Structure 1
């Protein structure tokens, strides 16, 4: 009885396998009748995806400025100048350190970060003079002067400065060996050669994208 039961199970298994194989052949035959060249559908799908990709690429490109614009990556300390899609200039820069300074009274604090967002070049200065803000004197442990003339300091900003609002500038540096590091009080320091090119190429109103 046990052997007969095993034989019955084997027979049922063979019959099931045979039926599955026949079903597979029938489905393949039916599919070939509907589409004798199944690869054609794949090619059409691929072409459709390519067309859709090209359409989205055009939409994205339409959002990109056609004129000159500056991109600053504060994490990697790089500045890129583009003319549309073409890269015109690449510079290693120094951006904000993120350090915090609190004045002795505890009433004021400053966070030295480069602002992120979209800005425009609002001013251009040759041989700029730095007007030292209050935090510079607090940092040096000196009293804050009342006379504005005591705030003026030449040479600190390099040969050129491009202002993009709220007292922030793209300017030169006395510490070129520190370029590539986050060590500034929020401004963007650039090497002499790259800064000169920026000053010459970039007009007022140029977009500055900082992230």
Structure 2
């Protein structure tokens, strides 16, 4: 297993420009509210996964906070006491150790250790597109699944075995030889396996990072991928929302 890299908190990197870059976005939350919102999102993802996804949690154990312990947020500027109470309650549902959060809507990935953000960067998640095989009628939906997963395996110089949809997408016939499915380039230098065919891996098209262009996996740039690979151990949580 790779040793954890010694990282210090860093600032977020900018998203790749796109066709909507000139459009006004939502007003930014105050800095502390942004942190509260993120923690709240993590708490909801974790609690929802406990109730509905039946994910095996094993190590990195945490204790869920009681709903009654969460203070009610006022409609206007929150008081310091309310914020402190909410932060304290939410820390009880946050994973321990190293973990990842992935915002599949905004295409942002963060790397954390004990609640401290070590990396915030752009990534690429699934397009949500539907591919249909005109010959068989079989369909694939290229979505990135929400919920809680764990890193099951890590590989350097990963090899991708191309599934049927990769050939259907290209309009090519399915290969007769298994060796024709082997791809040693597309995944990049590292891959972190999340189960069910989903991975965090590299990309040949880094200019598209920050956009939803994948078939369901999470793509990262070379340097960010290496940082995540060396820092996040097998068994670390990956929270996708």
Answer yes or no: same fold by TM over 0.5: yes
Which secondary structure does the structure 1 equivalent of 2:123 belong to? strand
2:87 equivalent to 1:60: no
> Which of 176, 196, 209 pairs up with 2:226?
196
> What is the aligned partner in structure 2 of residue 30 from structure 1?
none
Given the superposition, is the C-alpha separation of residues 204 and 139 from structure 1 closer, same or farther in structure 2, using an over 3 Å criterion? same
Partner of 1:176: 206
Mapping 1:32-71, distance limit 5 Å: 54-71=84-101
Partner of residue 210, structure 1: 240
- Whether 1:105 aligns to 2:135 is yes
Report the equivalent of 1:161: 191
Q: Are 1:72 and 2:105 counterparts?
A: no
Give the distance between the partners of 2:190 and 2:97, measured in 1 at CA.
22
TM-score by length of structure 1 reads 0.73
Q: 2:206 and 2:82 mapped to 1: Cα distance?
A: 47
State the Cα RMSD in Å. 1.5
Q: Which has the higher contact order (CA 8 A, sep 6+)?
A: 2
How much has 1:51 moved relative to structure 2?
Answer: 5.4
Which ranges of structure 2 fall in alignment gaps of 5 or more residues? 1-78
Deviation at 1:52, TM superposition (A): 6.3
Distance in 1, matches of 2:116 and 2:240, equals: 18
- For residues 206 and 133 of structure 1, what CA distance do their matches in structure 2 show? 27
Q: Number of residues paired by the alignment?
A: 163
**Pairwise CA distance, 1:63:** 1.3
Q: Deviation at 1:147? A: 2.4
Give 1:89's aligned residue: 119
Distance 1:67 1:184 in 2: 28
Contiguous gaps of at least 5 residues in structure 1 = 1-48
Partners of 1:153 and 1:56 lie apart in 2 by 48
TM-score scaled by structure 2? 0.65
